[in-house]
Amino acid sequence: MTSRAQRIPDLVGTARSIASGDTTSTAVVERCLDRIQDVDGDIGAFTVVFRDNARAAAAQADAAVRAGSALGPLHGVPIAIKDHIWMQGELATNGSLAYEHFIAPKDCTAVARLRQAGAILIGKTNNPEFCYRGFTDNALWGVTRNPHDLGRTPGGSSGGSAAAVAAGMVPGSLGTDGGGSIRLPAAFCGVVGHKPTFGVVPKDPGFHGWKTLSVTGPIARSVRDCAAIMDAIAGPDPTDDLSFPSAPTAYSAMLDTAEPVLRRLRVAYSTDLGFAPVDGDVRQRFTTIVERLRSSGITLAEAHPPTGDPNQLWNDIALCEGYASEGPLLQDWEKKMTPGIAQIVREGASKSAADYINALYRRAEYTEHWLQFFEEYDILLTPTAQVTAFPLGQDTPATAGGLPVDPFFDAWSAMFYPANLTGQPATSIPIGLSDQGLPIGIQAMGRRFDDATVLAAAATIEGLQQ
C-alpha cells in the first residue's frame, strides 16, 4: 500500500509547482481526495474529510495564482489536522464520546497560521481518546492501521496524521506530542516528525490535557517539508500564556547548509540512554546509521545523559495534568470512556497539589542534568522508538529488547519522555526497515530553541538514505 504513496507529491515541491503554474491546487486536492477514497477505508486515518470546502478553497487558490496575487509559502497545498487540534467551526472530538458533538469555537494559532500561509485544510485525523495512548483507536472513530502492515498500529497519539502522510493521502499534517505522540507514529509509519521546543509553536486555544508537556508540530515525508510547516506555524503568540517570545527563524533556509553545519557540531549518540531495552533490529539499524555518519566525516561520541529512567517523573506530571483537564468528565462520562483511559484519569485523582509541585521540582532537577549534557554536545542521536510497530489489539508491545513490557507507557517509550520533560526539540527520521518490513526511526535531539540545528542534523541523516 505504501508503495503508491509517491502519487502524492512532496509538500515543498507541490507548493512550488502551484505557484509557478505547473500544476493547480485543484489538481492536487483532487489527487489527495482520490487517494483518501482509495485507501482510507482500510487505514482509517481520517475522522472527517472536508471535500467541498477543500475544493472551494482550491478553486480560490487557483484564481489567486491566475490573478498574480501575493501567495503564501504553502499556497494551495493540502494539509491534514489532528482531531485534537481546534479548527474553528469544525468537529474537535479529542477521540472521545464526551466531545462527540463539540464544534471548536476558534482556530488553534497553528491552524490559523497555516491558513495565512495559504494551506488548504483537507480534513481531521484520528487520535486515541484524549491523546492518552501509544496506539490510535477509540469508541467514536474506531481503529487506525499502519499503512506498512494493516495488522499493526501506526502508533499514537498522532497516528492518523502519520498514517495519512505515510499512505500518500496528504503531503503533510499537524500532530501534537506530549509523550512522543508525533515521534512514535513517525517512526512506526516511516515518515518525518518534529517535536518543536516547548513554547515555539503556540498550542492554544484548544484542549488542555498535558498542559506543560504537549506541543504542536509537523509530520511530513521529508525534513524539508517539516521545516516548511515550521516556517509557517512557529513564532510567539501574546494570547498563549506558554508561548515564548522569540525572533522568527527561517527553518527551511538552515537546511541549505545542513551538512556543513552538522560537521561542525559536537554529536553524541546513545543506543539505549544507558538503561532502556531496545529490540535487536532497531539496535542494529541505529548502529549502521551511526557508522555511516562517522564514515561521512562527522565526529560522534558515545555518551549517556546521567539522568536515568524518566518514566515515573513523566507519569507523575501527566497524571496530575490529565486529571485537571479530564477529571470533571468522570461523573457523567466514565462509563463511556475507553476502560484504560478512565483508569488513567481516575489515577490522577489520587495525586495531591503537593505531589504535583514536588514533581515539578524533580523535573527542574532532571532538566538541569540535560542542559548540562547539552553544554558538552549540540546533538544527541538515539533510536526514536525502542521497538517497531506492534499488532493491533495490544496496548503496548509485548516485549522490548526481549524483556516483558508492563501496562501503559513503561520502559518501551523511554526515548520520548526526555524532550517532553525538558522542552527540547527532537526530530524522528526514518532509517530503513526491520526484517519484517516495518519502519525504524532515529531521533535527533538538541538544545531548547535550536530547532533549526536539529532539523539540519535530521536532513543530513535523511540524505544518507537517498
Q: Which residues have a catalytic role annotated? A: 82, 157, 181
Residue 410, pLDDT score: 66
Q: Which residues of 205-218 are buried (b: 16+ CB within 10 A; e: fewer)?
A: bbbebbbbbbbbbb
The x, y and z cell numbers of residue 189, run together, are 509509519
Q: Give the number of other Cβ atoms within 10 Å of residue 260's Cβ.
A: 10
Residue 119, pLDDT score: 99
Residue 464, pLDDT score: 87
The x, y and z cell numbers of residue 390, run together, are 506492534
Q: What is the pTM of this model?
A: 0.97
- Cα(149)–Cα(179) distance, integer angstroms: 24
Phi then psi for residue 420, to 5 deg, are -75, -35
Q: Which residues lie closer than 8 Å to 452 by C-beta, 6 or more apart?
A: 249, 250, 251, 254
Residue 6, pLDDT score: 46
3-state helix, strand, coil in the chain (%, to 5): 45, 15, 40
Residue 106, pLDDT score: 98
What is the block-wise mean pLDDT of the chain (466 residues), using blocks of 10 residues?
Answer: 60 98 98 98 99 99 98 99 99 98 98 99 99 96 98 99 98 98 99 98 94 98 98 94 79 79 91 97 98 94 93 96 97 92 94 98 98 98 98 95 78 94 98 98 98 95 87
Which burial class, exposed, middle or buried, applies to 333 when counting CB atoms under 10 A from its CB (0-12, 13-18, 19+)? middle
Q: Which residues of 24-53 are buried (b: 16+ CB within 10 A; e: fewer)?
A: bbbebbbbbbebbeebbeebbbbbbbbeee
CATH of domain 2-313+343-464: 3.90.1300.10
Alpha carbon 105 to its chain's center: 24
Residue 239, pLDDT score: 87
